[in-house]
Amino acid sequence: MPNPNAIVSNRVRLVWPRERTAAEALRGESGLWAEMGDGRTFRLDPENPRSPGFVQVLEGLEKLGRPVYLEVDAESQAVTRLLIPLVGRVNGLTPVEAGLEVGFDPSHARHLLRRDAPDFAVMETVLRQALERRTPILLTDDDAQEIVDVRFFRPGPDDGPRLSPKATFGRSGKARFWRSSGGSGTGRSGLGGGSGIAAYRSPPRSRRSTQ
């Protein structure tokens, strides 16, 4: 079954007293919260050394109206993992020994849905329907390009990005973490170009280092 502690939202908004900076709010009594498109809120844990980085990513996603994937602690509702979903269309499915290799437009990478994933059957069904119907989806994978979440992309009136029947939107490259760059930006994943966010490469590992 799908991860019950995983949340995917078409948009995200950071909530904190705006007379403070985000860094100050993170350490403050009222704290700093991520509000999803459906109104649910999740706490950024000041004791988690990754939270300042989470905040910077979330600020960029909020500014650009981009989707987000979060995993949260079931008891504290604190954010424990953050990934940036790809938005686009499936252009091919190839059975391989480890599972199902997914071609995804406009990504140049091959994304793997592992057969031993707990919700392999559910995600395979979504992928096959998306391929048949040319329906856009949100695809979230890790640094090893192993898929952790797949769901249909149904944007609301205020959500982005938009997809036309013939054109798709998404990012090239595989950067997953972000840091402040003083506004220079690299343009990768659509988070550069004046957003104040630039790509950061995590240390080489077989799995994403936020786990």
Please give the full DSSP string across 49-103, using - where no structure is assigned. Answer: TTHHHHHHHHHHHHHHT--EEEEE-TTT-BEEEEE--EEEEEEEEEEETTEEEEE
Domain count, the chain: 2
User: How many C-beta atoms lie closer than 10 Å to residue 198's C-beta?
Assistant: 20
Domain identity same for 35 and 19:
yes
Domain identity same for 54 and 101:
no
Domain identity same for 119 and 148:
yes
Nearest-5° Cα angle at 28, 179 to 33: 60
Domain identity same for 75 and 97:
no
Tens of pLDDT, residues 98-114: 999 999 998 888 899 99
Task: Locate 115 and state its tokens.
Answer: 């057969």
Q: Give the residue among 117, 123, 127, 10 at the shortest CA–CA distance from 69.
A: 10
Question: Residue 194 pLDDT > 80, yes or no?
Answer: no
* Domain edge (last residue) among 113, 130, 152: 152
Q: What is the mean pLDDT of the chain?
A: 79
Domain identity same for 76 and 95:
no
Domain identity same for 92 and 28:
no
Whole-number Å distance between alpha carbons of 79 and 62: 16
Band of the pLDDT at 159, cuts 50, 70, 90? low
Whole-number Å distance between alpha carbons of 132 and 144: 26
Domain identity same for 64 and 92:
no
Instruction: Please report the pLDDT score of residue 107 as a whole number.
Output: 85
Residue 207 within a domain: no
Residue 20 within a domain: yes
Domain identity same for 54 and 104:
no
Question: Could you tell me what percent of the chain has a pLDDT over 90?
Answer: 60
Q: How far apart are the first and last CA of the chain?
A: 19
Q: Give the residue among 127, 133, 190, 192 at the shortest CA–CA distance from 160.
A: 190
Domain identity same for 78 and 91:
no
CATH of the domain at 110: 2.40.50.340
Tens of pLDDT, residues 17-34: 888 888 889 988 878 999
CATH of the domain at 25: 2.40.50
Mean pLDDT, range 38-47, rounded to an integer? 94
Structural domain range at position 69:
6-83
Whole-number Å distance between alpha carbons of 18 and 6: 28
Instruction: Please report the pLDDT score of residue 158 as a whole number.
Output: 63
pTM (2 d.p.): 0.76
Residue 195 within a domain: no
Domain identity same for 95 and 49:
no
Mean pLDDT, range 172-190, rounded to an integer? 32
Residue 16 within a domain: yes
Helices (H) and strands (E) in the chain, counts: 3, 13
Domain identity same for 31 and 99:
no
Whole-number Å distance between alpha carbons of 66 and 195: 12
